[in-house]
């Protein structure tokens, strides 16, 4: 007969012999650093729902919104969570490439080393849009017009100070070599910014493609060119600036899924397989495209995601330095 003393004495051995719970053993929380309804939130919900099919143990993925300071509040929170794979986050360029470079003293978190990179979800193309009254009809004509502005200059709209559309417009100013003043008029959202351009309250702006797509199709704003390295399947006839008007111009946003650092490599690998399998689904890719995300097509291991983010951090360090744009901490 086993008495209480014998049972207590054998407890450590029993615990060592007991098999560890297989990951995932409960719901996975996919955090978004923005309010519900935006493109990052929609992308997280689409990917989270589809990746469940590729996870064992009938795992569920639920999205949790932790909005604040352009995603940096949630990122700082994520780095302090248990590194067990049950809390992950869909981040974007604003929180992990712009903010670390544009905030004096940087962010509270290291955008690379405080996290385990899991997979790239996709890129968010930006589009240069003009009011319909602007005379230029091609990217080359638009660049020539900006370069030859008179002393009165021009006004442009953005979705906020320090936003990627703001940075892209300033990079456009520098890249064209324009010497006339560019007056920045920030709005509270991409939608309000595009609406202002449609009403001729600003001559041009760089917008997230999904925010401007409807107005472009209706002719309320003129989509001139994409600012990224490649064309978008949503508007295959829309050229990029890099194709001719401004060779080498490449600026856009993106989404990557992260976990806290020290998450076990086998857990990261399992999550990577689930995410990459999800975004390989043609139906999901089409839904992401509508939401403003071009699903990733290239190599997509955790090492690839880390290398991608490292390169983007360096790119935006140069952009912030050249434009002089700064953010309040």
Domain that holds residue 284: 23-124+253-323
Tell me if 193 sits within 8 A of 158, measured CB to CB.
yes
Largest interatomic CA distance in the chain: 98
Residue 137 and residue 120 share a domain: no
- Point out the domain boundary residue: 209, 243, 277: 243
Round to whole Å and give the CA distance between 238 and 178.
24
Mean pLDDT of the chain: 93
pLDDT (0 to 100) of residue 113: 98
What value does the mean pLDDT take over residues 9-37? 74
- Where does a domain end: 243, 263, 285? 243
Residues 135 and 278 in one domain: no
Q: Give the CATH number of the domain where residue 204 resides.
A: 3.40.190.10
pLDDT tens-digit readout, 171-215: 999 999 999 999 999 998 899 999 999 999 999 999 999 999 999
**How far is 10 from 3, CA to CA, in rounded Å?**
11
In a domain, 8, yes or no: no
| Pairwise CA distance, residues 251 & 66, whole Å | 26
The pLDDT of residue 329 is 75
Long-range contact pairs involving 37-40 (C-beta distance under 8 Å, separation at least 24): 39/124, 39/208, 39/210, 39/291, 39/292, 39/293, 40/71, 40/90, 40/92, 40/255
Domain count, the chain: 2
Q: Of 189, 220, 243, which residue is a domain's last?
A: 243
Q: Are residues 93 and 160 in the same domain?
A: no
Q: List the single range of 18-22, 74-78, 278-282 with lowest mean pLDDT.
A: 18-22
Give per-residue pLDDT as tens, 259-292.
999 999 999 999 999 999 999 999 999 999 999 9
Is cis: bond before 148, omega within 30 of 0? no
194 shares a domain with 132: yes
Residue 212: phi, psi to the nearest 5? -105, -10
Any domain includes 12: no
Q: How far apart are CA 155 and CA 149, in angstroms?
A: 11
Q: What is the CATH number of the domain that holds 70?
A: 3.40.190.150
- pLDDT higher than threshold 60 for residue 141: yes
């Amino acid at each position: 007969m086993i008495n209480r003393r014998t049972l207590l004495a054998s407890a450590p051995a029993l615990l060592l012999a007991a098999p560890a719970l297989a990951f995932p053993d409960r719901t996975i929380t996919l955090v978004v650093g923005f309010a519900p309804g935006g493109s990052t939130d929609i992308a997280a919900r689409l990917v989270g729902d589809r990746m469940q099919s590729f996870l064992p143990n009938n795992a569920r993925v639920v999205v949790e919104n932790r909005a604040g300071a352009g995603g940096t509040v949630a990122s700082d929170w994520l780095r302090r969570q248990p590194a067990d794979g049950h809390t992950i986050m869909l981040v974007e360029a604003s929180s992990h490439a712009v903010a670390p470079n544009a905030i004096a003293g940087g962010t509270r978190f290291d955008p690379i080393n405080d996290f385990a990179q899991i997979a790239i979800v996709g890129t968010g193309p930006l589009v240069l849009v003009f009011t319909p009254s602007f005379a230029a009809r091609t990217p080359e004509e638009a660049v020539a017009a900006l370069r030859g502005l008179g002393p009165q200059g021009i006004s442009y709209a953005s979705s906020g100070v320090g936003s990627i559309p703001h940075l892209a417009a300033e990079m456009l100013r520098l890249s064209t070599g324009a010497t006339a003043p560019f007056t920045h008029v920030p709005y509270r959202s991409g939608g309000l910014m595009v609406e202002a351009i449609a009403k001729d309250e600003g001559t041009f702006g760089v917008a997230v493609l999904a925010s401007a797509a409807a107005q472009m199709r209706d002719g309320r704003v003129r989509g001139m060119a994409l600012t990224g390295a490649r064309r978008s399947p949503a508007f295959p006839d829309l050229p990029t600036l890099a194709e001719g008007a401004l060779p080498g111009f490449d600026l856009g946003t993106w989404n990557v899924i992260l976990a806290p650092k020290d998450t076990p490599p086998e857990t990261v690998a399992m999550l990577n397989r689930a995410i990459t399998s999800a975004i390989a689904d043609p139906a999901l890719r089409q839904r992401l495209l509508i939401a403003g995300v071009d699903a990733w097509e290239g190599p997509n291991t955790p090492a690839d995601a880390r290398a991608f983010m490292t390169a983007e951090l360096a790119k935006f360090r140069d952009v912030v330095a050249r434009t002089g744009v700064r953010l309040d901490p």
